[in-house]
Amino acid sequence: KQEVTQIPAALSVPEGENLVLNCSFTDSAIYNLQWFRQDPGKGLTSLLLIQSSQREQTSGRLNASLDKSSGRSTLYIAASQPGDSATYLCAVWDYGQNFVFGPGTRLSVLP
C-alpha cells in the first residue's frame, strides 16, 4: 500500500529565506507527483505536476524535483514571502490508480 510522508510537519521562517520541503513515498510505481498548497478554509491549489519520466518542474519561485527510484520529491521555495504561508501537500498517483496524499507541511513565513 502506497504511503506518503512529509518532513517537516511544520516550519517557521523569516521572510526572504529559501526553504525546502520534503516528500517521500514508499512505492516508486507512480504515474506522477503533484504539489499543492491549502490555505485555511479554502480548497487546494495545484502548484506543480511532475510526470514520472521527469526530474523537475519550475514555476516562478517554486522548483520541484522528483527522484522516483528513491521515492523522494522536494519542493524548493526561493525568497519566501508571508503570502507563501499555507499547508503544502504532495500527492502521488500510483499504478493502483490511487491518489495518495501526504499529511502536509504547515509553513509560516514571518514578515
Partner 1 sequence: GAGVSQSPSNKVTEKGKDVELRCDPISGHTALYWYRQSLGQGLEFLIYFQGNSAPDKSGLPSDRFSAERTGGSVSTLTIQRTQQEDSAVYLCASSGIAALSYEQYFGPGTRLTVT
Q: Is 105 near partner 1 (CB under 8 A)?
A: no
Instruction: List beta partners, residue 22.
Output: 7, 74
Does residue 11 belong to the site contacting partner 1 (CB under 8 A)? no
Q: Are 20 and 35 a contacting pair, CB within 8 Å?
A: no
Please return the burial class of 74, using the count of CB atoms within 10 Å of its CB with bins 0-12, 13-18 and 19+. Answer: middle
Q: Which is nearer to partner 1, 71 or 104 (CB)?
A: 104
56 bridge partner residues: 65
Task: Check residue 26 for interaction with partner 1 (CB under 8 A).
Answer: no
CB of 69 to partner 1, least distance (A): 20
**Roughly how many angstroms between the first and final C-alpha of the chain, as a whole number?**
41
**Residue 74 binding partner 1, by CB under 8 A:** no
Binding interface with partner 1 (CB under 8 A): 31-32, 34, 36, 42-46, 49, 51, 89, 91, 93, 97-104
